[in-house]
Amino acid sequence: MRISFAATLAAPVLAGLVLATPARAQISNDDVARVKQYMVCEGTLSKACELFMKGAFAEARAAFRAAADAGEAGALNNLGVLHENGAGVPRNAVRAVEWYRKAAEGGVAAAQYNLAMLTAGDHIFGGADPLRRDEDMAAAYMWLSLSADQKFALAVETLEELGRFLTKPQMAAAQKRLRARRGK
């Protein structure tokens, strides 16, 4: 099934608006299940993800932090997910980007996708510095491409559509970044 880029971004944005309302102290079970698709839950992270799924966010965060401190790059991504969605921590997109970037630099496909979507979404839905649009959109396309290179399904489904949002100069900058990142 083909999911549109706007729909891919709209679900997290709408969920974020719902989660940000004062009446909701914790994310709902439906939100937890939706958010899990953006996490890395294999291997040593599986138990922490189980805690997350049970709504034990503080325990999950502690486990993800311990795994991150031990060098598990996927845990960095998961800490970003917690911050982006306000699961056991205050919602904080800046902190989410910091965690996603660390994990993305470590080659975590989910983090590359999450970083791309958060960066592009800020420009598509407003709220980002318009002076950074060209640089940010090129970076978002690069990260999404790297995630798609690893066959991360959400990235593969979204890459072409994100490309339609880029101007020719943005796409040229994205391709230049990709060549440099891939070493070509």
pLDDT tens digits along 42-99: 999 999 999 999 999 999 999 999 999 999 999 999 999 999 999 989 989 899 999 9
- Return phi, psi of residue 7, to 5°: -70, -40
pTM of the model: 0.83
Instruction: Please report the pLDDT score of residue 181 as a whole number.
Output: 92
Topology annotation, domain 5-182: 1.25.40
- Domain spans in the chain, listed from the N-terminal domain onward: 5-182
Q: Average pLDDT in the 162-168 region?
A: 93
pLDDT tens digits along 114-159: 999 999 987 777 777 888 899 999 999 999 999 999 999 999 999 9
Count of Cβ atoms closer than 10 Å to residue 42 Cβ: 9
